[in-house]
């Protein structure tokens, strides 16, 4: 009887050991499966992160390109407008020099000489213009204090309108007169031997000087009225 009891107890212990070993192996399998799932999930997340990063880089590149292009257009449009304002300002400067009887430093237009006036010259296709005083000594007219003024980079004179489409216009303001006269490329002389205006352009109405920038669709006009009024407009 005792021998049988010992065998039963031994069998129970063996069964318990087997169960414990089975549970241990099962637990290890579950741990391995869990770790494999974690690795696969991390790999999956890594793949999505790379794709998302690529999309973000593409979006940022496109946004930067659009921003750069917009800035370039804005900057060129600003240069065009500044060119129109600059030209308008210099036409008024010429007008003020004439009205004030500015003969420049002593000796350039002597007291015995006659100040015909001041003028600004523009030419079709030009990226600059000239400003000068005009002095008459005897029968000869002489330019003095001539200087060339450059328009902002990329800005050119693309059209001149006064009765037609002249290629060169010289805008003359005379002392003690607010009115302006428009002359062709042959001037000076601006007056003949009798003191009357010569080399004038045939036409009437205002002179329109069109400015443009090759990369910008906008255009500006500097409009000079026969009364001497000067304005700039966007067209």
Contacts of residue 162, defined as CB under 8 A and 6 or more positions apart, other chains included, come to: 169, 182, 201, 203, 205, 206, 207, 208
CA distance 89 to 5: 123
Number of separate domains in the chain: 1
Whether the pTM exceeds 0.85: the reply is no
* CATH number, position 118: 3.55.40.10
pLDDT at 1: 44
pLDDT at 47: 56
pLDDT at 38: 52
Whole domain around residue 140: which residue ranges?
1-235
pLDDT in tens, the chain (235 residues): 444 433 433 445 544 544 544 454 344 445 534 554 454 545 455 456 888 788 878 888 888 777 776 667 879 899 999 999 999 999 999 999 999 999 999 889 998 999 999 999 999 999 999 999 999 999 999 999 999 999 999 999 999 999 899 999 999 999 988 789 999 999 999 999 999 999 999 988 999 999 999 889 999 999 999 999 999 999 9
pLDDT digits (tens, 9 = 90+) for 177-223: 878 999 999 999 999 999 999 999 998 899 999 999 988 999 999 99
pLDDT at 50: 82
């Amino acid at each position: 009887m005792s021998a049988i009891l010992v065998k039963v107890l031994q069998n129970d212990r063996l069964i318990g050991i087997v169960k414990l070993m089975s549970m241990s192996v099962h637990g290890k399998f579950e741990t391995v499966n869990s770790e494999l799932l974690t690795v696969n999930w991390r790999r999956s997340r890594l793949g999505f992160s790379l794709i998302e990063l690529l999309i973000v880089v593409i979006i940022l590149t496109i946004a930067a390109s659009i921003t750069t292009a917009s800035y370039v257009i804005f900057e060129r449009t600003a240069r065009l407008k500044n060119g129109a304002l600059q030209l308008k300002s210099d036409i008024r400067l010429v007008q003020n020099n004439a009205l004030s009887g500015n003969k420049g430093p002593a000796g350039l237009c002597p007291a015995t000489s006659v100040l015909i006036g001041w003028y600004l010259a523009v030419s079709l296709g030009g990226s600059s213009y000239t400003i000068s005083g005009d002095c008459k000594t005897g029968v000869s007219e002489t330019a003095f204090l001539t200087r060339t003024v450059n328009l902002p980079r990329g800005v050119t004179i693309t059209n001149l309108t006064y009765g037609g489409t002249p290629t060169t216009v010289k805008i003359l303001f005379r002392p003690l007169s607010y009115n302006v006269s428009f002359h062709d490329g042959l001037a000076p002389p601006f007056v003949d031997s009798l003191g009357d205006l010569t080399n004038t352009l045939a036409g009437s109405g205002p002179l329109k000087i069109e400015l443009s920038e090759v990369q910008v669709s906008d255009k500006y006009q500097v409009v000079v009225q026969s009364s001497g009024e000067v304005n700039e407009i966007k067209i």
